[in-house]
Chain A
Amino acid sequence: MGPYPETVRSVTDGSRPLLEGRGLTKRFGGLTAVNRVDFAVQPGEIVGLIGPNGSGKTTLFDCLSRLERIDGGRVLFKGTDITRASPHRVARMGLSRTFQVIRVYRKMKVLDNMLVSRRWSGDSYLRVMRSSSAEMVRRARELLEFLRIAPLADEPAGHLSGGQRRLLEIGMALMPDPDILLLDEATSGVNPTLIETIKDHIRTLNGQGKAFLLIEHNINFIADLCTRVYALNHGETMAEGTPREIMENDAVIDAYFGA
């Protein structure tokens, strides 16, 4: 809502990772869902995150976006430690995400969903007592146009189909002009044509300098887009490498297709 303190500039060189996890651990009671995971996303990179069901992918996302409390290790975003930061602060710093189970504001119009997802930092507290600025409305409409759901702008989000809601969620994530997008199964329940559309969008946005971290079960999607892939199993990093290396990795093949 209001201005947030300027992020502390890290003293490391320009090649420091945009988003970095060091020894991340998350436990649910006796279950260790994420166990000492190290990973990094460089600025402008598209990184994939794969693994069987229950391997801890979404939990890792939840830790990174600060939805879940982190039990061990650290998360750094733009060189700032965000291990204990509140989720809205992390979002305002430029990290956007989508959700495996879609989160849109069902009773609000599609356009209003977009407007209320704007970048909230940098304004005075009194700004929110006014209605959305014309510039924001223009940006929201442009993004809806870009995602080809502009004709639905005045519909309540609850009326949209599953695939359209996925696109709306991506639009809402793009609204604040983030530096990194975490997409959790952006292609699940989406028809093949639309998947190609999403792929194009990711390429276009990546061309504009945005980094991506993708959770996917659609291996082709990962192979087409990502430069690097992490494979998780039982909450631990099983393998890391290029998509080709990962798909030829015995441990990964075992985890996916083995007994």
Chain B
Amino acid sequence: MARVRGRLAQLGQGWGGLGLWWLLLAALALYPYTGVTHLTLFLGSQVFVLVTLASNWNLIGGMTGYVDFGHAVFFGIGAYVMGILVTKSPLLVSPEWGFLQALPVSGAAAAIFALLIGLPTLRLKGPYFSIAMLGTFVAMREIVRVLRPLTGGGVGLNLPPVLNRLGDYYLMLVLMGLVVSIMWWIRRSEFGQSLIAIREDEIGAEMRGINTTLHKILAFMIAAFFTGVVGGFWAWQNTFIDPDVVFIETRTVEMVMMSMLGGLGTVWGPPLGAVVIYVLQTVVWGRLFGIHLLALGILMVLLVLFLPEGILGTSGRGGGTSIVRLWGRIRKRSDP
């Protein structure tokens, strides 16, 4: 059994894991041809959004160990850059294609902001970084509210409604496939190994020749870039943005939870966690209307207490993934 688990872990980090991922992507690409409804396509793109966000957050929060409690700020910046460009810029070719033009700009704006804010905040350790990012997030919401001529203030912005569910589905599928593949790549690379070394012992890493500042900033910018792109996409799909729907704390909390549930620092954990949370949200919490936030909170507490490593997280005694160990403990407990 232990050997099987070891093989699985190897497969996940090896080319086999990436191969399976691309097979899954291919299957998802064919899915719309099975005669699905627009609603299913819409929900599909929503799941892809969650997977992409969780994967991104994991790069800075899971691999590098900088727990970012304000990561949704990059989502918000991406969304607003998209909103402002689409409604106010004369440079875009057409509503339909201008959106694609604006998408990389959304990401770039978020990445540049990550550079500017990361230089001071990434010097902070542990909870101080988390709080500083939370502050950044809240401050940005207020800034957006105040900059009325540009952002529309509290009234928000209305984007041209161009309904293309199939296009949205494929765009998010490609983005998700790309982001998770990049995470797989990073995890294998010396860059990714260095990020994990920084998480495990930042001073040790710096003293052994790793340029920790550069590594942290790069990881932060990559995570911010794709979060910004997703934010831009979301604004386009939602056709309406205001400070309160874009800069919403739950979005960061979701990213953290999905990554933790799946397994911090692993490649496949956060995508899995995102799917699990999505299913819980629709199937279970749909029936707990009004108290779903309570359910979310309880799940988070249980997660930290019983499954701190997440479903796919390994380490600690005995090897194997932590969910397998938890199951073993429960069985032992229930033995007479």
A residues whose Cβ falls under 8 Å from a Cβ of B:
1, 65, 67, 86-88, 91-92, 96-97, 99, 103-108, 112, 115-117, 119-121, 127-132, 156, 158, 172-173, 176
Inter-chain CA distance A27–B244, complex, in Å, is: 50
B207 at the A interface (CB under 8 A): yes
For residue B207, which residues in chain A have a CB less than 8 angstroms away from its CB?
Answer: 65, 67, 87-88, 91, 97, 99, 103
Q: Which of A65, A91, A96 has the most CB of B within 10 A?
A: A91
Sample of 30 A–B contacts (CB below 8 Å): A87-B206, A87-B207, A88-B209, A88-B210, A91-B206, A91-B207, A91-B209, A92-B209, A97-B207, A99-B207, A103-B201, A104-B201, A105-B197, A105-B201, A106-B200, A107-B196, A108-B193, A108-B200, A116-B193, A116-B194, A116-B208, A117-B209, A121-B209, A128-B189, A128-B194, A129-B191, A130-B189, A132-B193, A156-B315, A158-B315
Given contacts A103-B201, A107-B196, A129-B185, contact A88 B191 (CB under 8 A): no
Residues of B within 8 A of A86 (CB): 206, 211
Give the chain B neighbours of A1 by CB distance below 8 A: 194, 210-211, 214-215
Q: Which residues 195-242 of B have a CB within 8 angstroms of A? A: 196-197, 200-201, 203-212, 214-215
A176 and B196 within 8 A (CB): no
**Which residues in A have their C-beta under 8 angstroms from that of B185?**
129
Which chain B residues in 164-208 approach chain A with CB under 8 Å?
A: 185-186, 188-191, 193-194, 196-197, 200-201, 203-208
CB within 8 Å for A103 and B196 given contacts A88-B209, A132-B190: no
Residues of B within 8 A of A107 (CB): 196, 200, 315
* Other 4 A-B pairs with CB < 8 A, given A108-B193, A129-B189: A91-B206, A107-B315, A116-B210, A120-B210
- Chain B min CB distance to A118 (Å): 8
Could you tell me the distance between the alpha carbons of A108 and B315 in the complex, rounded to whole angstroms? 9
B97, chain A: closest CB distance, angstroms = 32
Contact A88 B194 (CB under 8 A): no
Total interface residues on B, using CB and 8 Å? 25
B84: min CB distance to chain A, Å:
33
The interface of chain B, by Cβ under 8 A from chain A, is: 185-186, 188-191, 193-194, 196-197, 200-201, 203-212, 214-215, 315
Q: CA–CA, A132 to B209, complex, Å? A: 16
Most chain B beta-carbon neighbours within 10 Å: one of A99, A103, A127:
A103
Asked if A99 and B196 sit within 8 Å, CB to CB, the answer is no
The 6 lowest CB-CB distance pairs between A and B, nearest first, are A103-B204, A105-B200, A91-B209, A128-B190, A120-B209, A128-B191
**How far in angstroms is the closest Cβ of chain A from B270?**
17
Q: Please, which residues of chain A bring their CB within 8 A of the CB of B211?
A: 1, 86, 88, 120
Q: Is the interface of B mostly helix, strand, loop or mixed?
A: helix
CB <8 Å contact, B208 and A108: no
A88-B210, A88-B212, A119-B209 known; A130+B190 contact, CB < 8 A:
yes
Roughly how many angstroms separate A92 CA and B210 CA in the complex, as a whole number?
A: 9
Most buried by B among A1, A67, A92: A1
Chain A CB within 10 Å, residue with most, of B190, B197, B206 = B190
Tell me the bound Cα distance from A86 to B209 in angstroms.
Answer: 9
Given A88-B210, A92-B209, A103:B194 Cβ within 8 A: no
CB-nearest residue of chain A to B13 = A131
Contacts of A156 in B (CB 8 A): 315
* CB < 8 Å neighbour of B189 from A65, A96, A131: A131
B186 to A, closest residue via Cβ: A129
Cβ–Cβ contact B200 & A99, under 8 A: no
Most B CB contacts (10 A, CB to CB) among A67, A104, A105, A173 go to: A105
> Bound state CA distance, A156 and B320, in angstroms?
12
Using Cβ atoms and an 8 Å threshold, which residues of chain A touch B191?
128-129
Query: Once bound together, how far apart are the Cα atoms of A99 and B201, in whole Å?
Result: 12
B196, B205, B207, B210 pick with most chain A CB within 10 angstroms: B207
- Chain A contacts for B189, CB-based, 8 A: 128-131
Closest CB of chain A to B263's CB: distance in Å? 12
Q: Which B-chain residue is minimally distant from A66 (CB atoms)?
A: B207
- Cα separation A86 to B191 with both chains bound (whole Å): 19
On chain A, the residues within 8 Å of B212 by CB distance are 88
Q: If A129-B185, A156-B315, A158-B315 touch, does A96 touch B208 (CB 8 Å cutoff)? A: yes
Q: Name the B residues within 8 Å of A106 (CB-CB).
A: 200
Q: Are B204 and A99 in contact (CB under 8 A)?
A: yes
- Which residues of B sit under 8 angstroms from A116, Cβ to Cβ? 190, 193-194, 196-197, 205, 208, 210
A158–B309 CA distance with the chains assembled, in angstroms: 15
Within the assembled complex, what's the spacing in Å between the Cα atoms of A119 and B190?
Answer: 12
Closest to B200 in A: A105
Q: Which residues of A contact B215 (CB under 8 A)?
A: 1
Taking the closest CB of chain A, its distance from the CB of B188, in whole angstroms, is 5
Given A116-B197, A128-B189, A156-B315, A104 and B210 touching (CB < 8 A)?
no
With the chains together, A1 CA to B196 CA distance in Å?
A: 15
Give the residues in chain B near A119, CB-CB below 8 Å. 209
Q: Are B203 and A67 in contact (CB under 8 A)?
A: yes
Residues of B within 8 A of A172 (CB): 208
| A158 partner residues in chain B, CB cutoff 8 A | 315
- Residues from chain A with a CB closer than 8 A to the CB of B214 are 1
List, in ascending order, chain A residues with CB within 8 A of B209's CB: 88, 91-92, 117, 119-121, 176
Q: Give A106 to B196 CA distance when docked, in angstroms.
A: 10
Indicate if the CB atoms of B190 and A103 lie closer than 8 Å.
no
Give Cα A107 to B265, complex, Å. 11
